[in-house]
Chains A and B, each alone.
Chain A
Amino acid sequence: MEEIIIAYGEYNNGKLHPASLEILTPLYDIAERLGKKLVLLLLTEDFERAQSLPELKKALCHYVWIVSAPELKDYRDDLYSEVIIELSKREMPYGVFFPATFQGMSLAPRIAGALQVGLCAHVNDLKLEGDNLLMFRPTYGDNIIASLYSTTIPIMATLSLGAFVIKENPFSPQISKYEMPPEFKWQSKMKIRKSKPLIKEPSRLSVAKIVLAGGMGLKTKENLALLRELAKVLRAEVGVTRPLCHAGWAKEEEMIGVSGVSVRPKLYIGFGISGAIQHTLGMENSEFIIAVNTDKEAPLVKMAHLSLICDAGELIKSLLKQLSRESN
């Protein structure tokens, strides 16, 4: 018992969510060290199509299990969670982990509730200390990180998006169909009537080469608009801090940080960002960090490779002016 670790493989419309491959990286290492097997679990209505996914052949896990049934065509929270609850009761995994995607964040709590086990959110690092699996996430206070553990099995967590780098498996995992018990009830209290694909571009933030990030030090929404203009000129992606999201200036998918997206670009420039840990944990792996801030003591200024001490909005205006002059 407790011989396997399950990673949720989010499979939608013929595609595997890359975040599902990201979480395999730390989990494989933990499985190897504990002498357990890592299972990537996919739920789908089409076994044949799912098993021929090219990514699966290189997925960093020991096994790929595919649960396939016509009822799994649409993502329905109650049925999907019921499948994983039933499977967990039968297989008694040591851990069940999810990427912090929409699906992961809506499934994991249902499963944790049903199994009456602990669930950590937005974990951005995992470490074994003896037999104890420690899960790290920022907590209250300046630059403070908490390590958490779970007193219950399976250990459960949602892992921060972009926090881990995808690694390929030199060997191919064994792919098989997982059969649910015949008495399992494939029922749901939900029925998807219509589904309209979102027109928004999928966020390229996590793979961007240059990221321009804005914080409250931008002071006005207009300055954020100017930052977007600058990003176009530099072919960069724009990210924001949590307070800007909460102020309604930007949407959550642009939020850099542990509860948003982690980035690791060649160049990161933070405009008017003081550097709360929730944000810095999501950008600290950037190759070159520039901070623009009026406050010399701001944490981001301290951790940056280069800091420009001035008003962020004014600097953006000057940059735009000088760049437009150069291109003319």
Chain B
Amino acid sequence: MDKVIVCIKGVPKPGTVKVDPETHTLKRESAELILNPMDRSALEMAMRLKDKYNCEVVVITMGPPNAVPLLREAYSLGADKMILLSDRLFAGSDTLATSRVLARAISNLKPFSLVLMGLKSIDGETAQVPPETASLLGLPSVTNVKQISVEGEKVIVVRETDYSEEEIEVDLPAVLSVTPYLDYYRPPSFKRMLEARKLDPLILSAQDLALPEELLGLKGSPTQVHSVFEKKIMERGEIWEGSPEELAKRLIDLLKEKEIFKN
């Protein structure tokens, strides 16, 4: 276990999202970016591996230059290297186009042992990028992982499926998405926070990654938006106003009438 790569994503801070009223696309530049909360789990797992195996942790994000503070946040948690994948050509990427960029950047960092990501982002919520990137890299992927340990050339992970909790032996290297529910998240180190202020990430463009334009961004994305429309809300129903006590009584009477509550 020498190198662990963590992919993180900047998501719009809830409440600051501005939507273009014409195109209904997200104005990402206008939004304040925060670290996708679920990526905290991937970073925490990486730091636990660093504590145990003294491995190098490289953190990667794809996004506009305003994602740099997120990389610094990861550095303050213990990441060793920061890489920003940034290019106008990446804009509008769906999960396949995004995975292509990540897979190429990850591949350039060979040799590595593990790639960690959050289970999903709280904006897109597709959870597709970790397995899709693994597939492009020809690597195994395990999703919703809650424990990671290393035995020689294998990693032992515990994942939770819809049916069971499984202990799995996986050949390295592998791509893992980490559960959003860890028992503990370390706070950032103040010393590293100060250090990070003076550090800049390595910035890589499409050209640096030798990726052809037709595979990137909106153009390289096979899923396309056909139209966006507002869903009409049904007519307004009945409105009751009053004190909670009064309303509770009326509601109980209604539930009895509807035979939902019987005493």
Q: Which A residues lie at the B interface, using CB under 8 A?
A: 12-13, 17, 75, 77-78, 81, 101-103, 105-114, 116-122, 132, 134, 139-152, 188-198, 210, 233-234, 242-243, 246, 248, 251, 259, 266-267, 277, 288-290, 296, 299, 301-311, 314-315, 317-319, 321-323, 326-327
Contact = CB atoms under 8 A, between A and B. Distances in A.
Given A192-B166, A234-B261, A140 B26 contact: yes
Contacts of A101: 162
Contacts of A233: 261
A83 to B, nearest CB: 14
Nearest to B240: A308
Q: Is the interface of B mostly helix, strand, loop or mixed?
A: mixed
A192 B227 contact: no
A191 B168 contact: yes
A109 B131 contact: yes
The 10 closest A-B pairs by CB, nearest first: A118-B222, A113-B135, A318-B248, A121-B126, A118-B223, A109-B132, A314-B244, A189-B171, A109-B131, A109-B128
B231 interface: yes
B164 interface: yes
A13 B226 contact: no
A113 B17 contact: no
B238 to A, nearest CB: 5
Interface stretch (B48-56, B81-89, B200-208, B250-258): B250-258
Q: Name the prevailing secondary structure of the A interface residues.
A: mixed
Nearest to A258: B125
Interface string B150-188: 000000100011111111111100100000010000000
B141 A12 contact: no
A194 B170 contact: no
B225 A141 contact: no
Contact of B233 (A118, A243, A266, A299): A299
B167 A192 contact: yes
Contacts of B37: 246
Contacts, number: 250
A323 B167 contact: no
B156 A106 contact: no
Contacts of A119: 95-96, 126, 128, 132, 223
B233 A143 contact: yes
B97 to A, nearest CB: 10
B224 interface: yes
Interface residues of B, number: 80
B242 A310 contact: yes
Contacts of B260: 210, 234, 266-267
A248 B125 CA distance: 16
A67 B170 CA distance: 24
Given A144-B24, A144-B229, 12 more contacts: A102-B162, A110-B141, A111-B135, A116-B96, A118-B223, A119-B96, A139-B225, A141-B19, A150-B224, A188-B140, A193-B167, A277-B231
A290 B248 CA distance: 13
Contacts of A77: 131, 140-143
Contacts of A120: 223
9 contacts: A12-B162, A106-B143, A121-B124, A139-B24, A140-B26, A189-B174, A210-B260, A305-B237, A326-B252
B149 to A, nearest CB: 12
A148 B226 contact: yes
Contacts of B61: none
B238 A306 contact: yes
A308 B231 contact: no
A301 B237 CA distance: 8
A81 B128 CA distance: 14
Given A190-B140, A308-B247, A110 B252 contact: no
Contacts of B174: 189
